[in-house]
Amino acid sequence: MARIGVFVCHCGSNIANTVDVEQVADIAGQAPDVVFSTDYMFMCSEPGQNLIQEAIREHNLDRVVVAACSPTMHFRTFSGAIQRAGLNPYMLEMANIREQCSWVHADKAVGTDKSVDIVTMAVGKTRWFEPLFPQEIGVTRRALVIGGGIAGIQAALDIADSGVEVVLVERSPSIGGKMAQLDKTFPTLDCSGCILTPRMTEVVQHSNITLHTWSEVQEVRGFVGNFEVDILHKPRYVDATLCTGCGECLARCPWQKIPSEFDEGMGTRPAIYRPFPQAVPNVPVIDAEQCVAIKSLVEDPEREKPKCGVCLKFCPRDAIDFRQQPTVTTEEFGAIVLANGYSLFDPTAYGEYGYGRYPDVITSIQMERLMNAAGPTDGEVRRPSDGKHPRSIVFLACVGSRDERMGRPYCSKICCMYTAKHAIMLKEHDPDVQSYVFYIDVRAGGKGYEEFVRRAQEEYGTCYLRGRVSKVYPEGNHLVVMGEDTLMGMPVRVEADLVVLATGVQPQPDAGDVARILGISYDSYGFINESHPKLNPVESNTAGIFLAGSTIGPKDIPESVSQASAAAAKVLGLLSQPSLLGEAMTALVDRSRCAGCFACEDICPYQAIERVTLGYGRQAAEVNEGLCKGCGLCVSACLGKVITLRGFSDQALLEELNVLLLEPESA
Ligand SMILES: Cc1cc2nc3c(=O)[nH]c(=O)nc-3n(C[C@H](O)[C@H](O)[C@H](O)COP(=O)(O)OP(=O)(O)OC[C@H]3O[C@@H](n4cnc5c(N)ncnc54)[C@H](O)[C@@H]3O)c2cc1C
- Cβ neighbourhood burial of 664 (10 Å; 0-12, 13-18, 19+): exposed
Please identify, by atom number, the ligand 1 atom nearest to the C-alpha of residue 556: 19
CB 552 within 8 A of CB 546: no
Percent of the chain with pLDDT strictly greater than 70? 99
What is the predicted pLDDT for the residue at 248?
96
Say yes or no: CB of residue 369 within 6 Å of ligand 1: no
Say yes or no: CB of residue 152 within 6 Å of ligand 1: yes
pLDDT band at residue 667 using 50, 70 and 90 as cut-offs: very low
Say yes or no: CB of residue 492 within 6 Å of ligand 1: no
Say yes or no: CB of residue 590 within 6 Å of ligand 1: no
Nearest CA to ligand 1 atom 45: 147
Please identify, by atom number, the ligand 1 atom nearest to the C-alpha of residue 510: 41
What is the predicted pLDDT for the residue at 607?
84
Q: Give the distance (Å) from ligand 1 centre to CA of residue 171.
A: 13
Peptide bond into 131 cis (omega under 30): no
Q: pLDDT tens digits for 76-97?
A: 999 999 999 999 999 999 999 9
Ligand 1 pocket: which of 172, 182, 421 to mutate (most atoms <8 Å of CB)? 182
Mean pLDDT, residues 488-494: 96
Q: Give the distance (Å) from ligand 1 centre to CA of residue 415.
A: 13
Q: Give the distance (Å) from ligand 1 centre to CA of residue 550.
A: 7
Nearest CA to ligand 1 atom 31: 149
Q: pLDDT tens digits for 390-411?
A: 999 999 999 999 999 999 999 9
CA-to-CA separations, 586 to 95, 593, 608, 628, in angstroms, rounded: 21, 18, 10, 6
CA–CA distance, 264 with 258 (Å, rounded to integer): 12
Check whether 665 has a pLDDT greater than 70.
no
Say yes or no: CB of residue 364 within 6 Å of ligand 1: yes
Say yes or no: CB of residue 171 within 6 Å of ligand 1: yes
Q: Is the dihedral of CA 552, 556, 558, 559 positive or negative?
A: negative
Say yes or no: CB of residue 170 within 6 Å of ligand 1: yes
CATH architecture assigned to 235-325: 2-Layer Sandwich (3.30)
Mean pLDDT, residues 643-653: 94
Say yes or no: CB of residue 306 within 6 Å of ligand 1: no
What is the predicted pLDDT for the residue at 625?
87
Peptide bond into 187 cis (omega under 30): yes
Nearest by Cα to 611 from 627, 622, 600, 625: 622
CA–CA distance, 182 with 187 (Å, rounded to integer): 13
Ligand 1 pocket: which of 168, 336, 556, 563 to mutate (most atoms <8 Å of CB)? 556
Please identify, by atom number, the ligand 1 atom nearest to the C-alpha of residue 558: 11
Q: pLDDT tens digits for 211-256?
A: 999 999 999 999 999 999 999 999 999 999 999 999 999 999 999 9
Q: Give the distance (Å) from ligand 1 centre to CA of residue 102.
A: 43
What is the predicted pLDDT for the residue at 662?
77
Q: Give the distance (Å) from ligand 1 centre to CA of residue 342.
A: 6
Q: Give the distance (Å) from ligand 1 centre to CA of residue 176.
A: 8
pLDDT band at residue 583 using 50, 70 and 90 as cut-offs: confident
- The domain spans of the chain are 4-132+654-666, 143-226+329-341+534-582, 235-325, 343-506, 587-646
> Could you write out the three-class secondary structure of 505-532?
EEECCCHHHHHHHHCCCECCCCCECCCE
Q: Give the distance (Å) from ligand 1 centre to CA of residue 445.
A: 19
**Residues sharing a CB contact under 8 Å with residue 14, sequence separation 6 or more, in sequence order:** 98, 102, 103
Strand partners, 437: 395, 464
Q: What class does CATH assign to 4-132+654-666?
A: alpha beta
CA–CA distance, 165 with 159 (Å, rounded to integer): 8
What is the predicted pLDDT for the residue at 336?
98
What is the predicted pLDDT for the residue at 182?
98
- The H or E element that residue 122 is part of is helix 108-126
Q: Is the dihedral of CA 537, 400, 265, 464 positive or negative?
A: negative
Say yes or no: CB of residue 182 within 6 Å of ligand 1: yes
* Number of Cβ atoms within 10 Å of the Cβ of 509: 9
Q: Give the distance (Å) from ligand 1 centre to CA of residue 549.
A: 8
Among 334-348, 527-541, 599-613, which range has the highest average pLDDT? 334-348
Q: pLDDT tens digits for 6-34?
A: 999 999 999 999 999 999 999 999 999 99
What is the predicted pLDDT for the residue at 664?
52
| Options 2.60.40.1730, 3.30.70.20, 1.10.287.180, 3.40.50.300; CATH of 587-646 | 3.30.70.20
pLDDT band at residue 380 using 50, 70 and 90 as cut-offs: very high
Domain 143-226+329-341+534-582 and domain 343-506, same fold? Reply is yes
Q: pLDDT tens digits for 310-329?
A: 999 999 999 999 999 999 99
Check whether 663 has a pLDDT greater than 80.
no
Say yes or no: CB of residue 421 within 6 Å of ligand 1: yes
Q: Which amino acid is at 463?
A: C
CA–CA distance, 259 with 491 (Å, rounded to integer): 38
Say yes or no: CB of residue 187 within 6 Å of ligand 1: no
Strand partners, 169: 146, 212
Mean pLDDT, residues 403-425: 97
Say yes or no: CB of residue 412 within 6 Å of ligand 1: no
DSSP string, 243-263: -----HHHHH-S---EEPTTT
What is the predicted pLDDT for the residue at 591?
93
Q: pLDDT tens digits for 621-642?
A: 999 988 898 999 999 999 999 9
Please give the mean pLDDT across all residues of the chain: 96
What is the predicted pLDDT for the residue at 605?
84
Check whether 666 has a pLDDT greater than 80.
no
Nearest CA to ligand 1 atom 52: 365
CB 483 within 8 A of CB 467: yes
Q: pLDDT tens digits for 263-300?
A: 999 999 999 999 999 999 999 999 999 999 999 999 99
Domain 143-226+329-341+534-582 has CATH 1.10.3210.10: no
Nearest CA to ligand 1 atom 12: 556
CATH architecture assigned to 343-506: 3-Layer(bba) Sandwich (3.50)
Say yes or no: CB of residue 555 within 6 Å of ligand 1: yes
Say yes or no: CB of residue 150 within 6 Å of ligand 1: yes
Helix (H, G, I), strand (E, B) or coil at 614: coil
Percent of the chain with pLDDT strictly greater than 90? 94
